[in-house]
């Protein structure tokens, strides 16, 4: 049986192309270091899952994968929810446990620092990620505000009105100003062109925008907009940048977090060309504490996220979810994941045992292990691994002793964080705040000058209508219905990466 086990590993986990070595196989609690567990780089865009109870080593596995990918020239994005991933930027320090583990694995270990960029969407130190309200679009904005259908139609109207009047919606102040205007000074103009808008509905939306501001979203909306091309830089040593999104304060805002994630993935999808089969991915995206993405997302948001995950693989982008239990990830998304690394689960209650049974059913059957039993017996730094080989065929499940990361397995000090930000090639550029004349300034000036009607906006253009506009013009619905339909269509296309705005090109 032992010989069969080792031969199974050698047949299933040896590949012609470049690969990442995770560790070595174990059988009956004995390590066989000749049975190396490797993952081919060319299938790392097929997405993945790293699961396990708290303290079992899943964060260190994430760190190992990211640093190995970076060293092989693959950029990565890490969502650092707990603040313990930033240590990947500096060299690790060897200790007795690392020495013993690598002695057993018969592998060398050398301290290694990585090419890292600290990002933030709040007030933490790092390169600021921003997006304008217009770039977010009416659909995602409605999702993040938790609006009903009537309220969504008003948001669509706001975007339509702003587009027609060349009013830039850059930040939340612009949005609030337009909302106030359409029920006060601009009420007659809106009623003439779009129909009546309920002040009560606008008031509800306004309060939700204020609530969003109080959650810290005001620091996210605005300029300069972050170009996602910055995420795929490679330095002179051939290292892919590891972009660490510091998001320790997002746990209290799961709805904002999940919507932000969808917007970022949609932006990546829109800017990357179709790639086909590559020898290595263009970018790998690791989402720690993935349950935060899903627990507050409604069905529409989940459907959009599922669509993006299905499509983005063809762009050479791999997405990896890190969570405690596989059941945290919806089945429709779980079925899309090619790599699965399962650390130990603990059975303290009947609910735990049921969850373990469900988790064990996600793995191929094997003659070497009883999955539902061994999943509770795994030690720290051990995991069940199954992946896709270089031909896209699932590999057998193997109990694996994982290698230790070569970077620091701990947090960075404040001084180290400051040093990283200071030495960043992009932080100074994106941390500069720009306040162009936008909707808020234009409408306030208009009110001060007593210009409550906009005759110039009522001049009709002679430009040929698009196909969508022709279809809408043929409808017998009222103009407000056509406007809402068109803007919802634009928003949905925006989610899939079809945008009309031009963006600054990246630094790479």
- Summarised one tens digit per residue, pLDDT across range 289-326 is 888 778 766 676 677 788 888 889 999 999 999 998 88
pLDDT given for residue 385 in this prediction: 95
Percentage of residues in the chain having pLDDT higher than 70: 86
Give the tens place of pLDDT for each residue, 103-155: 999 999 999 999 999 999 877 889 999 899 998 889 888 888 889 999 999 99
Nearest-angstrom CA–CA distance, 187 and 181: 7
CA atoms within 13 A on the CB side of 8: 19
- Nearest CA to 338 out of 307, 362, 315, 374 is that of 362
List the chain domain ranges: 2-129+223-425, 133-221+431-495
Phi-psi region of 233 (alpha: psi -120 to 50; beta: other; left: phi over 0): beta
- Nearest CA to 180 out of 426, 380, 443, 436 is that of 443
Is residue 173 over pLDDT 90?
A: yes
Report the predicted TM-score, pTM, of the whole model to 2 decimal places.
0.83
pLDDT given for residue 217 in this prediction: 81
Strands (DSSP E) contained in 10-137 are: 19-27, 30-40, 48-51, 76-80, 116-120, 127-128
Nearest-angstrom CA–CA distance, 195 and 213: 29
pLDDT given for residue 281 in this prediction: 95
Give the tens place of pLDDT for each residue, 68-80: 999 999 999 999 8
pLDDT given for residue 296 in this prediction: 66
pLDDT given for residue 298 in this prediction: 67
Q: Angle at Cα 100 formed by Cα 97 and Cα 102, nearest 5°?
A: 105
pLDDT given for residue 303 in this prediction: 79
Is residue 507 over pLDDT 50?
A: no
Percentage of residues in the chain having pLDDT higher than 90: 48
Q: Angle at Cα 265 formed by Cα 263 and Cα 268, nearest 5°?
A: 110
Q: How confident is the model at residue 489 (pLDDT cuts 50, 70, 90)?
A: very low
Q: How confident is the model at residue 48 (pLDDT cuts 50, 70, 90)?
A: very high
CATH class of this structure's domain 2-129+223-425:
alpha beta
Q: How confident is the model at residue 358 (pLDDT cuts 50, 70, 90)?
A: confident
Nearest-angstrom CA–CA distance, 280 and 79: 21
Average pLDDT over residues 210-231: 87
Average pLDDT, the chain: 84
DSSP letters of 243-264? EEEE-TT-TT-HHHHHHHHHHH
Is residue 493 over pLDDT 50?
A: no
Measured between its terminal Cα atoms, the distance across the chain in Å is: 52
Cis amide linkage into residue 85, ω under 30° from 0: no
Average pLDDT over residues 20-25: 96
User: How many residues are listed for the chain in this entry?
Assistant: 508
Is residue 90 over pLDDT 80?
A: yes
Cα-trace Rg, the chain: 26
Beta pairing, strands 127-128 & 48-51: unpaired
Nearest-angstrom CA–CA distance, 78 and 97: 26
Task: Centre a 10 Å sphere on the Cβ of residue 237 and count the other Cβ atoms it contains.
Answer: 8
Q: Token pair of 91, please?
A: 């060299």
Q: Which residues contact 265 (CB under 8 A, 6 or more apart)?
A: 285, 305, 308, 309, 312, 319
Nearest-angstrom CA–CA distance, 438 and 134: 11
Least confident range of 185-189, 431-435, 458-462? 458-462
Is residue 480 over pLDDT 60?
A: no
Nearest-angstrom CA–CA distance, 147 and 408: 44
Nearest-angstrom CA–CA distance, 287 and 232: 17
Is residue 504 over pLDDT 50?
A: no
């Amino acid at each position: 049986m032992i010989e069969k086990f080792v031969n199974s590993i050698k047949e299933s986990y040896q590949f012609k192309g470049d690969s990442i070595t995770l560790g070595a196989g174990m059988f009956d609690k004995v390590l066989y270091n000749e049975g190396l567990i490797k993952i081919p780089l060319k299938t790392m865009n097929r997405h993945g899952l790293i699961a396990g109870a708290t303290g079992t080593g899943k964060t260190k596995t994430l760190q190992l994968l990211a640093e190995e990918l970076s060293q092989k020239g693959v950029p990565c994005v890490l969502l650092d929810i707990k603040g313990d991933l930033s240590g990947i930027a500096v060299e690790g320090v060897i200790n007795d446990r690392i020495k013993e583990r690598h002695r057993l694995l018969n592998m060398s270990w050398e301290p290694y620092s990585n090419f890292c960029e600290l990002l933030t969407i709040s007030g933490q130190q790092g390169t600021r990620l921003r997006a304008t309200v217009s770039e977010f679009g009416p659909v995602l904005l409605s999702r993040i505000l938790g609006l009903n259908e009537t309220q969504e139609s008003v948001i669509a109207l706001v975007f339509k009105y702003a587009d027609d009047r060349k009013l830039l919606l850059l930040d939340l102040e612009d949005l609030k100003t337009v909302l106030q205007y359409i029920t006060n000074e601009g009420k007659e103009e809106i009623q003439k062109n779009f129909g009546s808008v309920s002040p009560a509905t606008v008031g509800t939306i306004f309060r939700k925008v204020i609530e969003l501001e109080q959650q810290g979203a005001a620091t996210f909306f605005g300029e300069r907009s972050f170009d996602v091309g910055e995420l795929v830089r490679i330095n002179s040593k051939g290292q892919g940048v590891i972009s660490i999104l510091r998001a320790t304060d997002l746990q209290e805002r799961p709805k904002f977090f999940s919507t932000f994630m969808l917007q970022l993935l949609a932006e990546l999808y829109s800017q990357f060309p179709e790639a086909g089969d590559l020898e290595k991915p263009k970018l790998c995206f690791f989402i720690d504490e993935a349950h935060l993405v899903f627990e507050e997302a409604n069905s529409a948001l989940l459907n959009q996220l599922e669509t993006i995950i299905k499509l983005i693989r063809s762009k050479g982008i791999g997405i990896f979810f890190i969570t405690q239990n596989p059941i945290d990830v919806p089945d429709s998304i779980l079925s899309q994941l090619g790599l699965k690394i399962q650390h130990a689960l603990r059975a303290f209650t009947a609910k735990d045992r049921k969850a373990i049974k469900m988790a064990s059913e996600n793995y191929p059957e094997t003659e070497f292990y009883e999955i539902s039993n061994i999943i509770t017996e795994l030690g720290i730094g051990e995991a069940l691994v199954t992946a896709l080989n270089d031909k896209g065929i699932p590999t057998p499940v193997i109990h694996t002793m994982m290698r230790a990361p070569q970077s620091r397995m701990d947090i960075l000090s404040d001084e180290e964080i400051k040093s990283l930000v200071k030495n960043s090639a992009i932080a100074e550029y994106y941390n500069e705040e720009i306040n162009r004349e936008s909707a808020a300034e234009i409408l306030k000036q208009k009110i001060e000058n007593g210009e409550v009607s906009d005759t110039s906006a009522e001049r009709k253009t002679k430009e040929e209508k698009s196909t969508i506009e022709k279809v809408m013009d043929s409808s017998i619905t009222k103009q407000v219905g056509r406007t809402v339909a068109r803007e919802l269509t634009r928003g949905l296309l925006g989610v899939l990466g079809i945008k009309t705005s031009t963006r600054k090109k990246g630094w790479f």
